[in-house]
Chain A
Amino acid sequence: MNAATPDAGVATTPASWPIRLENVTVTYPNGTTALRDVSLEIAAGEMVSIVGLSGSGKSTLIRTINGLVPATSGTVTVGPHTVTGLRGRGLRRMRGHIGMIFQGFNLAERVDVYRNVLVGRFAHTPTIRTLTGIPTARDRELALRTLDSVGMLDKLWARAGALSGGQKQRVAIARALAQEPSVMLADEPVASLDPPTAHSVMHELQRINAEQGLTVLVNLHLMDLARQYTTRMIGIRAGEIVHDGPAGDATDADFERIYGRSIQPHDRLGTAT
């Protein structure tokens, strides 16, 4: 286990964090239970896919890790932080070390790419400083470097809304990387993209995992992407973990068990590089 200091964000190469869930249950205010007594351990630097149909609870699972969805019971630990019980300032500081990308990219469409990426620096910036609108030299450099690393630096001043889907997801990845994260979460990052773009975004996540040794957790509903890009696969159905093993070894029968039905053509993205 790669133990890190609580505020590793200032270090040049952030430490990678493990994730641990112990008997986590999530019940929403409307009464639906999205996660049932889930226990899970992910080591630092792993590249894990969470596979399941929509509504299976995988979106809730990933959101309990950074506290966007609070666990009703059980304990969530990320690196040195116990997420359950964190509130306000402490929660924000912890989230500052967890990057997240979304299916819908979640960019402010009318705001330029530069400022969208600077959102990733919020947890490390005093609110007063943000109000002035002038980022520090270091924040600026981080934003530019991460944009460069995903190949989007030439769109620096473009409005996010003017970009294509793949470009938007790259900017969203740059925003998450600008946090200098210790964990990267991705909630269906390629579900809104066409197949070639989907592969390039998955490549990007794989590269981040390989080069920076970052713990990456990615929600997918497509079996071939899980097999091709991740090393470990967790299957989830009706809020419970029904599969956990090396992604490369997962058989079609495993997927049928996770989905609870026979495999259909749309469960695969199809091949492309």
Chain B
Amino acid sequence: MTLRLTAREAGLDLPARPSRLGPTIAAIVVGVIVVLATADLDIDWSEAGAIPGELARYAGLMFAPPNWEKLPRALFEMWRSISMAWLGAMLCVVLSIPLGMLAARNVGPVWLRLPLRGLFAVIRAVPEVIIALILLTVTGLTPFTGALALGIAGIGTQGKWVYETIESAQEGAAEAVRAAGGGIAEVTRWALWPASAPALLSFALYRFEINIRTSAVLGLVGAGGIGSMLSNYTNYRQWDTVGMLLIVVVVITMIIDAISGALRRRIREGATTRGVGRIS
């Protein structure tokens, strides 16, 4: 936008507008890349116009009305997905707390800390489905494999949260205990644990929420649970049952989110009212 001077403004001494050349060039470059990427995608744009109509038609097949006949089976499979998510979260927490502590500064030795952080980074980069694909050679296409995959795949992020939490807890209370002559055990018991327990508990619940979604994804590749059922009925093209399954997934996921969210809020508020510091 240029700012032109009208006759009446002529009396004013306007400063020159700073150059926006750099950001403009960056925006154009990004824009061109995005347009090229879009144009080059394997999408038949002549048919794209029909897609909203198609989606609406299928939505009609799924939800007008959904078929509730298989609901008991769906709830059974949903519980299986929840079980996978829960056990996966437990495994993940049990593994990530000691590993994360060892990866925290001033707790673990350097030769252990750096490889552990590298391991977390690598696990973070590998999609859960791929970990499940490796594991199924050991335990087969079972929900147990799903739970194990969730437990291992979560370590990457969970471990990182643990060492970040411990490191932020070290700055305050740990100093004081060390100053009073406490050793590693005392520091851990009286400073690190009280300061970081609420955060770690909150992260554990959050892991469960994430796993609820991921367990359905693992089900799609054969680990069982609601994902497998959804995949099957999509293949059979029984749309009214698919619609019912989607409703079950959405409703139960939202309920679990709400409960877990409320618990996390309680943990956090309890922590602040008791004055044990901040949850990052």
* Touching chains A and B, CB distance < 8 Å: yes
Cα(A193)–Cα(B18), bound, Å: 29
A145 nearest CB neighbor, chain B only: B12
- Is A156 within 8 A of B14, CB to CB? yes
What residues of B have a CB within 8 angstroms of the CB of A148 in the complex?
A: 12
Question: Does B1 sit at the interface, judged by CB under 8 A?
Answer: yes
Judging by beta carbons under 8 Å apart, are B1 and A133 in contact? yes
Whether a CB of chain A sits under 8 angstroms from the CB of B9 is yes
CB-contacts of A132-171 with B (<8 A): 133-134, 137, 140-141, 144-145, 148, 153-157
- Cβ–Cβ < 8 Å partners of B3 in chain A: 140
Q: Which residue of A lies closest to B11 (CB)?
A: A148
Question: Cβ of B6 and Cβ of A137 under 8 Å apart?
Answer: yes
Question: When the two chains form their complex, are residues A153 and B8 in contact, meaning their CB atoms are under 8 A apart?
Answer: no
Alpha-carbon separation in the docked complex, A156 to B12 (Å): 12
**A133-B1, A134-B1, A157-B18 known; A141 and B13 CB under 8 Å?**
no
Asked if B17 is at the interface (CB within 8 A of a chain A CB), the reply is: yes
CA–CA, A140 to B2, complex, Å?
12
- Given A153-B14, A156-B14, A157-B18: A141 in contact with B8 (beta carbons within 8 A): yes
Q: Given known contacts A137-B6, A141-B6, is B12 in contact with A153 (CB within 8 Å)?
A: yes
CB–CB A141/B9 < 8 A: yes
CB-defined contacts of A133 to chain B, threshold 8 Å: 1
Bound Cα distance from A148 to B11, whole angstroms: 10
Residues of B within 8 A of A156 (CB): 14-15, 17
* A residues less than 8 Å from B1 (CB atoms): 133-134
- Say whether A154 contacts B6, CB under 8 Å: no
Docked CA distance A74–B247 (Å): 52
A142 to B166, CA, bound (A): 56
A124 to chain B, nearest CB (A): 18
Partner of B9, one of A144, A154, A155, A157: A144
- What 1/0 mask marks residues of chain B from 1 to 27 whose CB sits below 8 Å from any chain A CB? 101001011001111011000000000
Q: How far is the CB of B11 from chain A (nearest CB, A)?
A: 9
Count of A residues near B, CB < 8 Å? 13
Complex CA distance for A156 and B1, rounded to whole angstroms: 14
Residues in A with CB closer than 8 Å to B15 are 153-157
Partner of B13, one of A145, A153, A157: A153
Residues of B within 8 A of A153 (CB): 12-15
Q: Which residues of A contact B12 (CB under 8 A)?
A: 144-145, 148, 153
Q: Mark A103-138, 1 if CB is under 8 A from B, else 0.
A: 000000000000000000000000000000110010
Chain B: minimal CB distance from A113 (Å): 10
Distance in angstroms from A151 CB to nearest chain B CB is 12
Bound CA span A255–B208, Å: 61
**In whole angstroms, how far apart are the Cα atoms of A134 and B3 in the complex?**
10
Q: How far is the CA of A137 from the CA of B18 in the complex (A)?
A: 21
Chain A: CB-nearest residue to B17 = A157
Find the B residue at minimum CB distance from A154. B15
- Minimum CB–CB distance from A133 to chain B (whole Å) comes to 7
- Minimum C-beta distance from A81 to chain B (A): 30
Q: Could you tell me which residues of chain A, from 184 to 220, have a CB within 8 Å of some CB in chain B? A: none
- Complex CA gap A148/B10 in Å reads 12
- Tell me which residues across on chain A come within 8 A of B17, comparing CB atoms: 156-157
Chain B residues with CB under 8 Å of A155's CB are 15
A212 to chain B, nearest CB (A): 19
> Can you name the residue of chain B whose Cβ is closest to the Cβ of A141?
B9
In the complex, residue of chain A having the shortest beta-carbon distance to the beta carbon of B8? A141
Question: Smallest Cβ distance from A262 to chain B, in angstroms?
Answer: 37
Q: Which residues of B contact A154 (CB under 8 A)?
A: 13, 15
Which residues of chain A are near B18, meaning CB under 8 Å? Answer: 157
**Cα distance, A153 to B16, chains bound together (Å):** 11
Cα separation A157 to B1 with both chains bound (whole Å): 12
Output the nearest chain A residue to B13 by Cβ-Cβ distance: A153
Give CA–CA (A148, B8) in the complex, Å.
13
Residues of B within 8 A of A134 (CB): 1
Query: Whole-angstrom distance between the alpha carbons of A141 and B12 in the complex?
Result: 10
A145 contacts across to B, CB distance below 8 A: 9, 12
A153 to B5, CA, bound (A): 14
Query: Cβ of A140: which chain B residues have Cβ within 8 Å of it?
Result: 3, 9
CA distance A157 to B3 in the complex (A): 11
Q: Write the nearest CB–CB distance from B53 to chain A, whole angstroms.
A: 30
**A38 vs B8: C-alpha distance when bound (angstroms):** 46
Give the Cβ gap from B86 to chain A, nearest Cβ, in Å. 41
Nearest chain A CB to B24 CB, angstrom units: 15
What 4 new A-B contacts, CB under 8 Å, besides A144-B12, A156-B14, A157-B18? Answer: A134-B1, A140-B3, A145-B9, A157-B17
Closest 6 CB pairs of A and B: A154-B15, A156-B15, A157-B18, A157-B17, A148-B12, A144-B12
Q: List 11 A-B contacts (CB under 8 A).
A: A140-B3, A141-B8, A144-B9, A144-B12, A145-B9, A148-B12, A154-B13, A155-B15, A156-B15, A157-B17, A157-B18
